[in-house]
């Protein structure tokens, strides 16, 4: 949504004056600043259909995603120290789609096809 409204302002070249969409953009920025951004980011990352495909690796490299995942692990499990090494290794395996997180083990393509078939069936009725 933020991108859509930003594009509206950019297309109209409204940088010199207040644009009505500016209030919407400010509201989105305010709400995002108050939100638990780490949780939203990791939710997207842990979606097997998305993983890190939505993230610009120059802006949000895997090392930052790993740091976010580790911070959340510490918060959720109320640790005083670092998460177990196995957690870090599993996040890296998940990102690279290896071992237990490989496409063959998860069957992501089969699930994706089932959803596509279901959506197409609903659309065709």
pTM of the model: 0.66
pLDDT of residue 121: 54
Q: Would you tell me the crossing angle of helices 62-76 and 85-96 to the nearest 10 degrees?
A: 140
Question: Residue 122 pLDDT > 50, yes or no?
Answer: no
pLDDT of residue 118: 67
| Rounded Cα gap, residues 99 and 36, in angstroms | 30
pLDDT of residue 66: 97
pLDDT band at 13; cut points 50, 70, 90? low
pLDDT of residue 123: 47
* 38, 72 Cβ separation under 8 angstroms: yes
pLDDT of residue 30: 86
User: What does the pLDDT average to over 9-34?
Assistant: 72
The closest of 50, 35, 46 to 69, measured between CA atoms, is 46
């Amino acid at each position: 949504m933020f991108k859509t409204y930003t594009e509206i302002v950019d297309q109209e070249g409204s940088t010199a004056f207040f644009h009505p969409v500016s209030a919407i953009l400010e509201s989105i920025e305010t709400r995002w600043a108050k939100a638990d951004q780490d949780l939203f980011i990791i939710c997207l990352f842990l979606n097997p259909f998305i993983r890190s495909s939505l993230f610009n690796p120059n802006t949000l490299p895997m090392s930052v995603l790993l740091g976010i995942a580790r911070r959340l692990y510490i918060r959720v499990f109320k640790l005083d120290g670092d998460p177990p090494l196995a957690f870090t290794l599993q996040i890296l395996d998940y990102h690279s789609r290896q071992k237990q997180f490989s496409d063959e083990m998860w069957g992501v393509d089969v699930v994706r096809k089932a959803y596509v078939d279901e959506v197409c069936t609903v659309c065709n009725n």
